[in-house]
């Protein structure tokens, strides 16, 4: 195999982006999986895509549009789900379809070539610039740092939000903080992975880690590891077979999930529950 490709700047940028994006997305994914809010993430990633297209159409920075739209969707979804005014599925379904509709509307209104829009749709990790990496690096450090600093508050909120509130923890703030970080992570990874695919990189590594451990700390670590593994393996497959990298990264993360699900010790959870203690 000719490995000279790894000497090129664009490939090094891609490897670094896959590393940082893998860690940030997979860390956020642990919240998404354990707080049972996968649809919120899907909704926010499509909102980010719509916002980025608005930026492209009106001529401002697409990432500003992406961040604003994903936070806007979180600001609508959060209280709706919180107050239980609509079932979360209904409110998310409405916002999800609205965002997808807006995204294609902005794309249709955009004059000239649509190549920039398609890049945001499918992602193009090989064209990442140094500033993209710096942005992704900052977001990754913030996400990992906040998880480290507020681990106990996060753990309690994930376990049971009302219980966390009842012991005097700022659980509502933690929930909105998680939504904010989700928006920032999606925005920072949008150019690399693409608006349609980004959510798979958030969900799959965490869902795979969830199959394999009963320790939340280990789940965060495993998830980040699977995120990076998905990024790097996907990148390699993309290079070897000359196919879009965003798609190969996402497919790889799905394969990792399937393998984890097949070999999950938690598949035997029911039998384990019935077992007397002496047999453990």
Partner 1 sequence: MRATVINIEDAVVSYREDIALQGVSLEVKSGEFVGIIGPNGAGKTTLLTIVNGLGKLLSGRVWVLGNYLTPSNSHSLRKKVGYVPQVENIDPRMPMNVREVVMIGRYGLLGLFRKPGKHDWEIVDEMLKLVGMTHLAQRPIGHLSGGEQQRVAIARCLAQEPELFLLDEPTASLDWKAQTEILELVKRIHDSRRLTTLFVTHDLNSLPVACDRMVLMKEGLIWSEGSPHELLTDDNLSRLYDMPISAVEKRRKDTISV
Q: Does 254 bind partner 1 (CB under 8 A)?
A: no
Q: Does 266 bind partner 1 (CB under 8 A)?
A: yes
Interacting residues of 96 by C-beta distance below 8 A, sequence separation 6+: 39, 42, 43, 46
For residue 66, CA distances in Å to 29, 54, 176, 197, 260 come to 19, 8, 18, 15, 32
> Which 8-state DSSP code applies to residue 265?
G
Q: Does 141 bind partner 1 (CB under 8 A)?
A: no
Q: What is the DSSP secondary-structure string of 114-147?
A: -HHHHHHHH--GGG--HHHHHHHHHHHHHHHHHH
Tell me if 12 sits within 8 A of 6, measured CB to CB. yes
Q: Does 271 bind partner 1 (CB under 8 A)?
A: no
Q: Which two tokens stand for residue 191?
A: 């150019």
Q: Does 258 bind partner 1 (CB under 8 A)?
A: no
Residues between 211 and 230 with contacts to partner 1, criterion CB under 8 A: 213-216, 218-219
By three-state DSSP, how is residue 188 classified?
A: helix
Choosing from 152, 258, 259, 268, the residue that interacts with partner 1 (CB under 8 A) is 152
Which range touches partner 1 (CB under 8 A), out of 88-96, 102-110, 119-127, 270-278? 270-278
Q: Compute the Cα dihedral for 97, 63, 17, 235 and give only its sign.
A: positive
The total number of residues written for the chain in this structure: 280
CB atoms within 10 A of CB 14: 26
Nearer to partner 1, 193 or 212 (CB): 212
Q: Does 277 bind partner 1 (CB under 8 A)?
A: yes
Q: Does 261 bind partner 1 (CB under 8 A)?
A: no
Which range touches partner 1 (CB under 8 A), out of 2-10, 112-120, 121-129, 206-214? 206-214
Q: Does 149 bind partner 1 (CB under 8 A)?
A: yes
Choosing from 19, 67, 210, 226, the residue that interacts with partner 1 (CB under 8 A) is 210
Nearer to partner 1, 13 or 204 (CB): 204
Minimum distance between the CB of residue 94 and partner 1, rounded to whole angstroms?
20
Phi, psi of 2 (to 5 degrees): -80, 110
Minimum distance between the CB of residue 265 and partner 1, rounded to whole angstroms?
10
Quick one: how many helices (H) and strands (E) in the chain? 13, 0
By three-state DSSP, how is residue 84 classified?
A: coil
Choosing from 8, 60, 159, 263, the residue that interacts with partner 1 (CB under 8 A) is 159
Q: Does 278 bind partner 1 (CB under 8 A)?
A: no
Nearer to partner 1, 126 or 216 (CB): 216
C-alpha Rg value of the chain to the nearest Å: 19
Minimum distance between the CB of residue 25 and partner 1, rounded to whole angstroms?
19
- Binding positions for partner 1, rule: CB under 8 A: 34, 149-150, 152-153, 155-156, 159-160, 162-170, 210, 213-216, 218-219, 266, 269-270, 272-273, 277
């Amino acid at each position: 195999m000719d490995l000279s490709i790894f000497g090129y700047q664009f490939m090094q940028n891609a490897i670094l982006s896959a590393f940082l994006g893998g860690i940030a997305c997979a860390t956020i994914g642990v919240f998404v999986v354990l707080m049972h809010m996968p649809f919120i993430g899907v909704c926010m990633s499509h909102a980010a895509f719509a916002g980025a297209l608005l930026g492209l159409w009106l001529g401002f920075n697409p990432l500003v549009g992406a961040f604003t739209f994903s936070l806007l969707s979180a600001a609508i979804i959060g209280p709706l789900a919180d107050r239980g005014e609509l079932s979360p599925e209904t409110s998310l379904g409405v916002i999800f379809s609205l965002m997808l509709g807006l995204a294609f509307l902005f794309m249709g209104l955009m004059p000239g070539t649509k190549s920039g829009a398609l890049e945001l749709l499918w992602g193009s990790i090989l064209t990442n610039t140094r500033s993209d990496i710096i942005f992704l690096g900052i977001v990754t450090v913030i996400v990992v740092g906040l998880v480290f600093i507020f681990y106990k508050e996060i753990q309690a909120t994930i376990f049971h939000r009302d219980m966390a509130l009842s012991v005097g923890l700022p659980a509502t703030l933690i929930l909105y903080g998680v939504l904010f970080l989700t928006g920032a992570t999606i925005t920072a990874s949008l150019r690399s992975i693409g608006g349609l695919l980004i959510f798979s990189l958030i969900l799959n590594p965490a869902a795979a880690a969830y199959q394999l451990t009963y320790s939340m700390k280990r789940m965060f670590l495993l998830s980040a590891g699977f995120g990076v593994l998905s990024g790097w393996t996907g990148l390699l497959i993309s290079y070897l077979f000359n196919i879009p990298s965003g798609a190969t990264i996402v497919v790889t993360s799905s394969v990792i999930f399937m393998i984890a699900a097949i070999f999950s010790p938690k598949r035997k959870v029911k039998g384990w529950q019935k077992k007397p203690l002496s047999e453990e």
